[in-house]
């Protein structure tokens, strides 16, 4: 079978299965297995596919047809300038979250050797990126999930990022220490959101998505303890879901708050709430 014939057949199957980007996914699967870029594949349509490669392509097509995200099938996701390993243990890093990393880099821009804590780290996308952009930073990353910590460690190793890891339910096992910056992309979807998840998102770990009935449960728990872990003038940056920014700001604002604000993502959605502790 030629590459173009396989792509046509795969696109048709994915379309029938309701995949939103059937053509693109078909080409990506072929490119991934044949170790070509999706652009190169366009010019190789007449090339015959070898038996072994064809088998792998068909297995991947079956998985994608059943609704598994391409990133899990290929064990790859792109975030900031880096390629991350991902699997079913972790949320697939979203482009929205790059807004948080960019803001974090600005906030610690003037601090030498900043102490940084990234909680609910998942794949480690935030922690590893911060560590790679700020080689002088001392970055610790934590997660409640052992599987996630394993994935994050793998990413730090592969990308040569100097990150320390702690298995911890929020602050429970975090050593008593004060940080210049704490970043968190917690689970924040509501009970209602969880009932209407896209097929691909259903494949992701619900522990990384579900934030209790109103989506704010994890923010409440973090707000209770976070100021004890901040240096004077230290920052907390939190990713928030659609329309949660006011509630989250309220939860984190108290007598310890110096200043706070909200940052929009590239789509214009209020995406990151930031809070600064008093000097
Ligand atoms: N942004 C994710 C989504 O829309 C949710 C991630 C999270 O809960 N932190 O599916």
- Length of the chain (residues): 279
279, pLDDT greater than 90 = no
pLDDT one-digit tens code per residue, 151-209: 999 999 999 999 999 999 999 999 889 999 999 999 999 999 999 999 999 999 999 99
Distance 92 CA to ligand 1 centre (A): 9
Q: Which numbered atom of ligand 1 lies nearest the CA of 198?
A: 10
- Ligand 1 mutation target, pool 71, 91, 145, 201, most atoms within 8 A of CB: 91
Q: Which atom of ligand 1 is nearest to the CA of 186?
A: 9
Q: Which two tokens stand for residue 80?
A: 């900031």
Strands 179-184 and 163-167: unpaired
Q: In the prediction, which pLDDT does 176 show?
A: 87
Distance 56 CA to ligand 1 centre (A): 30
C-alpha 133, offset from chain centre: 17
Interatomic CA distance for residues 32 and 273, integer angstroms: 37
Return the structure tokens found at 159.
Answer: 């990308």
SS3 state at 15: helix
> Of 163, 162, 216, nearest to 189 (Cα)?
216
Q: What distance in angstroms lies between residue 209's CA and the mean position of ligand 1's atoms?
A: 6
- Beta-carbon count within 10 A of 87 CB: 17
Is 141 in a helix, a strand, or coil?
A: strand
Q: What angle do CA 165, 171, 175 make, to 5 degrees?
A: 60
DSSP 208-251: GTB--TTS-HHHHHHHHHGGGGEEEEEEEEEE--TT-HHHHHHH
- Average of pLDDT values for 270-276? 98
pTM: 0.94
- Tens digit of pLDDT for each residue in 213-246? 999 999 999 999 999 999 999 999 999 999 999 9
How much is the pLDDT for 208?
97
Say if residues 48 and 4 touch (Cβ distance below 8 Å).
no
Protein residue with its CA nearest to atom 6 in ligand 1: 209
**How do residues 84-138 score in pLDDT, each as one tens digit?**
999 999 999 999 999 999 999 999 999 999 999 999 999 999 999 999 999 999 9
Task: Return the residue whose CA atom lies nearest to atom 9 of ligand 1.
Answer: 187
Atom of ligand 1 nearest to the CA of 215: 8
Using one digit for the tens of pLDDT, what is the confidence trace for 48-81?
Answer: 999 999 999 999 999 999 999 999 999 999 999 9
Question: Do residues 142 and 167 make contact, with C-beta atoms less than 8 angstroms apart?
Answer: yes
Inform me whether the pLDDT recorded for 267 exceeds 90. Answer: yes
Among 95, 189, 248, residue to substitute to test ligand 1 (most atoms within 8 Å of Cβ): 189
Pocket test for ligand 1, best of 144, 185, 198 (most atoms within 8 A of CB): 185
Segment 248-261, tens digit of pLDDT: 999 999 999 999 99
Nearest residue (by CA) to ligand 1, atom 5, is 209
Beta strands in 63-222 (DSSP E): 77-79, 82-84, 115-119, 138-143, 163-167, 179-184
For residue 38, the model assigns a pLDDT of 87
């Amino acid at each position: 079978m030629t590459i173009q014939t396989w792509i046509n057949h795969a696109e048709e199957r994915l379309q029938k299965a309701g995949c939103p980007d059937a053509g693109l996914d078909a080409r990506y699967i072929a490119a991934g297995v044949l170790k070509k870029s999706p652009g190169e594949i366009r010019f190789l349509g007449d090339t015959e596919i070898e038996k072994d490669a064809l088998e792998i392509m068909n297995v991947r097509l079956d998985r994608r047809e059943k609704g598994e995200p391409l990133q899990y099938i290929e064990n790859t996701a792109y975030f900031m300038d880096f390629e991350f390993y991902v699997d079913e243990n972790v949320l697939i890093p979203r482009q929205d979250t790059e807004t948080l990393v960019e803001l974090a880099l600005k906030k610690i821009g003037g601090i030498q050797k900043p102490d940084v804590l990234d909680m609910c780290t998942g794949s480690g996308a935030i922690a590893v990126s911060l560590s790679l952009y700020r080689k002088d930073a001392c970055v610790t990353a934590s997660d409640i999930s052992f599987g996630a910590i394993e994935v994050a460690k793998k990413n730090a190793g592969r990308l040569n990022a100097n990150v320390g890891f702690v298995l911890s339910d929020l602050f429970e096992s975090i050593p008593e220490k004060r940080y210049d910056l704490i970043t968190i992309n917690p689970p924040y979807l509501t009970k209602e959101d969880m009932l209407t998840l896209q097929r691909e998102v259903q494949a992701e770990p619900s522990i990384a998505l579900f934030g209790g009935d109103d989506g704010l449960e994890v923010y409440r728990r973090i707000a209770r303890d976070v100021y004890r872990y901040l240096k004077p003038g230290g920052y907390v940056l939190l990713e928030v879901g659609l329309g949660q920014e006011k509630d989250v700001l309220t939860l984190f604002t108290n007598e310890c708050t110096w200043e706070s604000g909200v940052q929009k993502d590239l789509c214009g959605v209020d995406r990151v709430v930031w809070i600064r502790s008093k000097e």
